[in-house]
Structures are given as C-alpha cells and as structure tokens.
A and B are shown apart, each in its own frame.
Chain A
Amino acid sequence: MDTITTSRPLATYLIRHGDDNLVLAQRLAEYISWAPELEEDLAIANIALDHLGVAHHLLAYAASVEGDGRDADALAFLRSEREFTNLLLVERPNDDFAVIMVRQFLFDAYQVPLWEALAGSADTTLAGIAAKAVKEARYHLRHSRNWVVTLGDGTEESHRRTQHAFDELWRFTGEMFVGDALDTDMAAAGIGVDPASLEAPWRRTVLEAIADATLSEPEDTTVRVGGRSGFHTEALGHMLGEMQWLQRAYPGLEW
C-alpha cells in the first residue's frame, strides 16, 4: 500500500503533525457552545485555538518547504480525506464529554514529550514551533488530566462513562508510537523523533492519571493504524465535509 506523500520528506513530516493539530482543533471547535459550563466552553475554545495555531505554523512551513504554490489554507481546505495524515485518535467523534476529555488527555500526554523532543530538532524552524507548542501542551495536559481525575473519581455515572471512553479510544493510541521509514529517516537526520521513544513517558503519564481517577487500565486490543498513510475511520470524511465545504463551494473566498 502506497503512502501518499509530497515529494519532500520534511514537508510530509510537518504535514503529519500539522494534520494532528488541525483535525483536533476542528473537533474541539465543533463542541464550542455545548460544554457543561461557560468556563469549559472558553477553555475548549482556547485549546482549539492553540492547536489551530500550531497547525497553521506547521502547514505554512510545510508549504514553503514544498515551494510549489500551495499555502497553509490550500493544505487545510483543499486536500481530500486520503491526503490527510493525522492520527486516527484525533478524528474520533465528540460522542460525549468524557470521550472529548479522554481523547484530549491521551493526545496531550503524547504531545508534551513529542514537542520536548522536537524542540531540539536540527531544523530550527520546527524547533521554534515545538518550543512554543510545548508550553501550551503542558497547560492542555494539566486541564485534561484534571477532568479525567474529576470525572473518573466522580459519580457512578461519570466514572462509568470515563472508563468507557478509555476503553473505546485505547485501540487508537498505539498508532502514536508506530514509526515508518519517514520517521526513521527524520530521526536519523536529527530533525524528527523516533515515535517509539515517546511511549514510555506517555504510559507513565496516562497510568498515573488512570490510578488517580480510580479507573482501570484498558485491556490491550489490536492497534488500529492507517492515519499516517491516509487510511482513516469513517468519521474523518464527515468532519472534512463540514470543515471544507465553504472553500470547496466558493474557492478562494475570504471574509
């Protein structure tokens, strides 16, 4: 099975991480005005904006590396589902508040060590974006972890739903640590990081929170992969339909 890539490995690498942040930003934005309290609505809007900002910087840099006339907006709004290379985890739908917070927590626990590693990238632009993103990711992690513990160690119903969220999302977490040839090349060049090296710190963060939340570690299941090669769950296409329709219907529209 062929991986859809641009001609330049660095651009492809940047787009992967840009896509993770773009797709999660859109998922969170979908939820704005639905949060259980006003403060949480603001928090989710802020977190979405941080992810969108990171996505914008990564995709704009990827576009300049490509140098063939596409810009960040073209990458965000004019690529098809098969061209998106985000992790499956971030495209999972907003089933309920527990799923949203557990999804966020599982991803934040990955982003913190990822950005810490990439802040030392040999590519100075990527290192700069990462050094900024890690400060934000730590805020996000503190917030999502608080919710995981509050909900897990909360009422019988919130406990049940949070455990369910972990059980449902667990099979999408392994993908974060599966590297491919591009990851190996980028790590060897000192630009990227070997995703497998992020698993230990991620597990530590996650298992500590699960224990504090009085939850149980989900049983290991078959790991779902495919996002990095453009093979997605059904959820992404619907999300992109909503996200992209304006630029698809009215190309180049500005407001």
Chain B
Amino acid sequence: MVTTAREPDTVRAILEQVVDPEIPVLTIGDMGILRDVTVADDGMVRVVVTPTYSGCPAMDLIRDEIVDALAAAGIDRVTVDMVFSPPWTTEWMSDRAKEKLRAFGIAPPGSTAGADPVLCPRCASASTRTVSEFGSTACKALMVCEHCGEPFDRFKEI
C-alpha cells in the first residue's frame, strides 16, 4: 500500500468508523476522545486522543483500531499520542452522541454543574434511583427505574 498525504478532514472522516469498544454506538469523535488530527508536510499523520477514565482498558484497543482503520485506507505512517490535559469531560459529548446513548439503553450524562434528574432510557420516567455508583465499566453507574422496574446503566457526569 502506498502512503499518501491526506487532509486532516479526510483522516477524521476515516476515524468516524472507529467506535468505542465498550459502547459501540458511539464513535471516538462522539465521545470527545479524539482531540486532534494533524498531517505533516511529509504525510505523517498524528492522531491525538485523551482517555476517559485513567484506567479505561479500552484505550489500548482504541489506539489499535485507529491504526488499523487508517491502514485500511492506505495511511500507514501514523502516530497516536495520548494527552491528559485538559482532562476529558462528559461536556465534550455531543447531543447527537447523548441521544444515541439513550436509544442504546444508557442514560446519558447530564451537566457536570447541576443535578439533572436521571430519566429512565426506556420509559423516560424521572422516578429512578442509584443502585451503585459503580457499574459495568468505569464510566457508568447502575440505576433502576421505579416506574417500569428496569435496571439500566447511567453514564456518569465527570
């Protein structure tokens, strides 16, 4: 395969295929994990990502998938750098992403500033309670709906 210099937007479009392995309805762009894409004059592509939680085990896989997705498009000179600052926040998640989360059955994060009521992603009832602050992944809490009785995950505001 031949490496060709690409525009950052082209590279970004390719990276739209890369999804969060824990929440496959969201791309890394939706999540706000993808921070920057630059293409140097010599064609070297630099992708900058930031972790959601310090111990997120998906980060290594995401890094591999970025490299694989670009390689499949003929771009094989790639570095993936991880930056910590500024720290990732759920405020970077787009409204489109939050709606996709809800449709997937995960209550999306509210504002980090206020105490938004958590609505059940199935029946939209506000009558919900926290079962545990820690759920199936670092970013989620375990909730239950008092109205429809269904348990569900909530993406925690951070």
Contact = CB atoms under 8 A, between A and B. Distances in A.
B110 interface: no
Contact of B55 (A39, A40, A53): A53
Interface in B46-93: 51, 53-57, 83-88
Interface size classification for chain B = 20 to 34
Contact of B133 (A49, A51, A124, A139): A139
Interface string A20-59: 0000000000000000000110110111011111101100
Contact of A39 (B56, B84, B142): B142
B10 interface: no
B67 to A, nearest CB: 18
Contacts of A132: 51, 53-54, 84, 87-88
B132 interface: yes
Contacts, number: 71
A50 B138 contact: yes
Given A53-B55, A54-B54, A132-B54, A42 B84 contact: no
Contact of A127 (B51, B85, B134): B85
Nearest to B54: A53
Contacts of A49: 53, 55, 57, 138
B84 A46 contact: no
A124 B138 CA distance: 25
Interface string A116-143: 0000000011011101110110010011
21 contacts: A39-B132, A39-B134, A42-B142, A43-B132, A43-B133, A46-B137, A47-B134, A50-B55, A53-B54, A53-B56, A54-B54, A57-B84, A128-B85, A128-B87, A132-B51, A132-B53, A132-B54, A132-B84, A132-B87, A132-B88, A139-B156
Interface of B: 51, 53-57, 83-88, 131-138, 142, 156, 158
